[in-house]
Amino acid sequence: MSHHDEENSAAGRADEFLQVFKKGAEFTQDLLKENERLRFRVVKLEETLKEKGHDVVTDGPEALELKKKILELEQEKEEILGQIKVVEEENQNFANRYVEIEEENNMLANLYIASYQLHSTLDFKEVLKIIQEIVINLIGAEEFGVLLLDEKTNLLEPVASEGIEISALPSIAVGSGIIGESVGSGENYFIESMQGYERDLHKPIVCIPLKIKEHVIGVISIYNLFEQKDEFTNVDYELFTLLAGHAATAVFSSRMYSDSERKLSTIQGFIDLLTK
Amino acid sequence: MTGYKVLVVEDSPTMRQLIVFALKRIRGFQIVEANDGVDGLKKLSAEKFDLILTDINMPIMDGLKLVSMVRNDPNYKETPIIVITTEGAIEDRERALALGANEYITKPIQTMKILETVKKLMSV
């Protein structure tokens, strides 16, 4: 092959290559255009769908029905939530009431046993012991005295004590001082505040006159409570009222019984002496 | 019926009755009463108890001595003991618990507290 022929052949191949390249460029241009067109179409379709979709949700009868149903369910839910709240409150009230009833039940049981014990004996000393047990264990008093009225002298004389020597307790005239006034009026006395209180045997923190109806036969004077007992509860006030009545009748009847027993034994002694 | 046997050791008849009255509200409890520590020990050796409630201040043998002796008895190593007392000081409580008491309740008597404690210890 001559040099001239070689040159012609190379030029032909370059031409061919250019043709192919040109076609490739045209094809790429077509692809880009098609891409552009399709993208435009996609956007259009999306817009249409969006529009159509919007129309269906807002205007269609099914959508309206569903909306109505949702509203109804929402209302129902609110009502149920309200009812649950009411039931919860009722439950809480029942629980509180149950605790109150339990407390009342226990208080009544305590009062029943205390009064039962007070009237279970005609032994004067035993009655005094039971009063002491009640005041210690049910009221929580650490230091107190029981004083009974001597009707001949009109003086309140100590007959029992706890936490204080009985000999240390003073005799008190009816109407004199806190204890005497409480006995005179027949009204329970409670100190206004126990803060800063220092024991004074003439100034107790509580005075409970022992009464049979309006007739006062003695008094319980409390000077100190246990360290774990810092205030009086409703049960205590009930117990004070109970003590005022039941302890008084128990003391009175046991004392009467002791006196009559003593008199009976004296009379029996005389009879024995006369009949011998 | 749980069938638990309970021993109540308390020298005051009034308080004993109060505690027994409260415990009777728990179904199935068989309650035995003792007047003091010695009486309590006698009853503990005669039959097996599942729960012991005791006072501290008692004649002849006090509640702390009773707790200590009960804990030294292999039959009562794990038996719950509740102390019910007027002694409110922290050191009294610590002493009772150190000797082996499971719970320490102070007087004045609070029936609900006693019942709650018993129910907790006995899982009833």
User: How far is Cα of residue B119 from the mean position of the Cα atoms in its chain?
Assistant: 13
Selecting from A109, A137, A228 the residue whose C-beta is nearest the C-beta of B12 gives A137
Selecting from A106, A133, A226 the residue whose C-beta is nearest the C-beta of B88 gives A226
Candidates A102, A113, A119, A123: best to mutate against B (most CBs of B within 10 A) is A113
Q: In B, which residues are within 8 Å of A103 by CB distance?
A: 112
- The token pair that represents A104 in the structure block: 């009342």
Residues above pLDDT 90, as percent of chain B: 87
- Interface membership of B15 toward A (CB under 8 Å): yes
- Interface membership of B59 toward A (CB under 8 Å): no
How far does chain B reach from its first CA to its final CA, in angstroms? 10
What per-residue confidence (pLDDT) applies to B56? Answer: 95
| Beta carbons of B14 and A137 less than 8 Å apart | yes
**pLDDT, one tens digit for every residue, chain A (276 residues):** 455 566 666 667 777 777 777 787 787 778 788 877 787 877 787 788 777 765 545 567 777 888 788 888 889 989 999 999 999 999 999 999 998 898 888 888 888 898 999 999 999 999 999 999 999 998 899 999 999 999 899 999 999 999 999 999 999 999 999 999 999 999 999 998 888 888 999 999 999 999 998 899 999 999 999 988 888 877 788 778 878 899 999 999 999 998 898 899 899 998 988 887
- The token pair that represents A30 in the structure block: 């077509």
What per-residue confidence (pLDDT) applies to B74? Answer: 94
Selecting from B13, B89, B112 the residue whose C-beta is nearest the C-beta of A117 gives B13
> pLDDT tens across B59-109, in order?
989 999 999 999 999 999 999 999 999 999 999 999 999 999 999 999 998
What per-residue confidence (pLDDT) applies to A156? Answer: 96
| Beta carbons of B14 and A226 less than 8 Å apart | no
Residues contacting A233, CB < 8 A, separation 6+: none
Angle at A103 between CA A100 and CA A108, to 5 degrees: 125
What per-residue confidence (pLDDT) applies to A56? Answer: 46
Selecting from B13, B22, B112 the residue whose C-beta is nearest the C-beta of A103 gives B112
Q: How far is A256 from chain B (nearest CA, A)?
A: 23
Q: What is the 3-state secondary structure (H, E, C) of A97-110?
A: HHHHHHHHHHHHHH
User: How far is Cα of residue B62 from the mean position of the Cα atoms in its chain?
Assistant: 12
User: How far is Cα of residue B68 from the mean position of the Cα atoms in its chain?
Assistant: 13
Phi/psi for B4 (5° steps) reads -80, 140
Q: Which CATH code, of 3.10.100.10, 3.30.450.40, 3.50.50.60, 3.30.1540.20, is assigned to A123-264?
A: 3.30.450.40
User: In this structure, what DSSP letter does residue A138 have?
Assistant: I
Distance (Å, whole) CA A145 – CA A160:
6
| Beta carbons of A137 and B109 less than 8 Å apart | yes
Domains in chain B: ranges and CATH: 5-116 (3.40.50.2300)
Q: Where are the domains of chain A?
A: 123-264
Q: How far is B75 from chain A (nearest CA, A)?
A: 32
| Beta carbons of A136 and B107 less than 8 Å apart | yes
Q: In A, which residues are within 8 Å of B12 by CB distance?
A: 133, 137
Q: Do the Cβ atoms of B38 and B61 come closer than 8 Å? A: yes
What per-residue confidence (pLDDT) applies to A59? Answer: 64
Where are the alpha helices (H) located in B6-71, listed in sequence order?
Answer: 13-23, 37-46, 63-71
